[in-house]
Amino acid sequence: MEFFYTYKSIETALPLVDVENAKFAILGIPFDGTTSYKPGARFGPTLIRQGTVNLESYILDYDIDLAELNIADIGDLEVVAGNPLQTVKMGIETIRELKEANPNVIPIILGGEHSMTYAPVKALMPKSYVVFDAHLDLRDEYESNPWNHACVARRISELGVEIAEFGIRSGIREEVEYAKEKGITWVHAREYSVERFKEVVKDLPEPVYVSIDIDAFDLSMVPSTGTPEAGGLRFWEVIEALEWLVKNKRIVGFDIMEVAGMEIGDVTALTGAKLLFYFIGMMEKFGKP
Ligand SMILES: [Mn+2]
């Protein structure tokens, strides 16, 4: 089927199927209209897809070949430049269309800035939101804009979704106070461990939406991102936590956001591409139905 707002862009290196037959469906949202520091997240979906070209579809430690799975890629949302709210609304509609076409499909969103995560969360309405991020993103508004990337977790909290945040190392007092008031648990990057992750997440209600702001990882792995922060997480300590999560909680959707960059082979995009393949692989291998 044709999606009203989407257009085809560069495809992943995997054989693809139609949405109706897919277990996973990739949608890019190439929006970076509120980026505060380093621009380029509009190229994130294309760079992540291009980064998959370098990867083997076989995942060694899972004995899973992604080329044998049913994966769709519906292309990128046609964004409204400079207007996050209008773009989010189109994203919500598109993800709803996707779920109407195939109620069992798991949407995988490639960003684009983190403000766009509101779209899949609103469309899928999980009970919990688990996010890896350097930033709390709990501001009520930023630069007079409540739809700025720095506000996305706050907007999601206002939907009544329970939130847990990991890898945090940047925020302001107002955000810390809001988190305390609303019972939002956040784990500083210095205190992060897979054990700590399990402790926090085990009591969260299902289903769960998972968001990865690529800036949660250490800066050395992800230099091309909107608001880079030193002192982040390592790849395998995030993968291990995600594996535990998909084994123990039903996942309704997943995203990789804030990958920016201007050139093919960008390190940040390669991190995003590897993460994309691992997430699909772990869902297939361990995913709770
Ligand atoms: Mn962030």
What is the 117 CA–ligand 1 centroid distance (Å)? Answer: 12
Report the percentage of the chain scoring pLDDT > 90: 93
pLDDT of residue 5: 87
CB contact set of 276 (below 8 Å; sequence gap of 6+) = 12, 26, 48, 52, 108, 110, 256
CA pair distance 27, 256, nearest whole angstrom = 11
CA–CA distance from 153 to each of 22, 128, 158 (Å)? 29, 12, 9
CA atoms within 13 A on the CB side of 276: 38
Indicate if the pLDDT at residue 71 is higher than 80.
yes
CB 135 within 8 A of CB 227: yes
In CATH terms, the fold of domain 6-286 is: Arginase; Chain A (3.40.800)
pLDDT of residue 55: 94
**Average pLDDT, stretch 121-146?**
97
Indicate if the pLDDT at residue 1 is higher than 80.
no
CA pair distance 191, 138, nearest whole angstrom = 20
**Average pLDDT, stretch 10-31?**
93
Q: How many CB atoms lie within 10 A of CB 243?
A: 20
Is residue 135 annotated as involved in ligand binding?
yes
What is the 136 CA–ligand 1 centroid distance (Å)? Answer: 7
CA pair distance 164, 146, nearest whole angstrom = 21
Indicate if the pLDDT at residue 171 is higher than 90.
yes
What is the 67 CA–ligand 1 centroid distance (Å)? Answer: 31
Is residue 65 annotated as involved in ligand binding?
no
What is the 286 CA–ligand 1 centroid distance (Å)? Answer: 27
CA pair distance 260, 44, nearest whole angstrom = 5
**Average pLDDT, stretch 201-215?**
98
Is residue 140 annotated as involved in ligand binding?
no
Instruction: Tell which residue, 276, 289, 287, has the closest CA to residue 71.
Output: 276
Q: Residue 2: which pLDDT band, with cuts at 50, 70 and 90? A: confident
pLDDT of residue 276: 98
pLDDT of residue 235: 98
Query: What residue spans define the domains of the chain?
Result: 6-286
What is the 63 CA–ligand 1 centroid distance (Å)? Answer: 32
**Average pLDDT, stretch 200-205?**
98
pLDDT of residue 263: 92
What is the 62 CA–ligand 1 centroid distance (Å)? Answer: 29
Indicate if the pLDDT at residue 13 is higher than 90.
no
Q: Exposed (0-12), middle (13-18) or buried (19+): which is 104, by Cβ within 10 Å?
A: exposed
Is residue 215 annotated as involved in ligand binding?
yes
Angle at which helix 267-286 crosses helix 235-248, to 10 degrees, equals: 30
* pLDDT tens string 209-250: 999 999 999 999 999 999 999 999 999 999 999 999 999 999
Structure tokens that stand for 127 in this block: 């009970």
What is the 154 CA–ligand 1 centroid distance (Å)? Answer: 13
Residue tagged 């300590």 (tokens): 237
Instruction: Tell which residue, 35, 40, 43, has the closest CA to residue 9.
Output: 43
**For residue 59, what are the β-bridge partners?**
64
pLDDT of residue 12: 85
Dihedral sign from CA coordinates of 266, 268, 271, 274 = negative
Q: In the chain, how many H helices and how many E strands? A: 8, 11
Is residue 137 annotated as involved in ligand binding?
yes
What is the 207 CA–ligand 1 centroid distance (Å)? Answer: 23
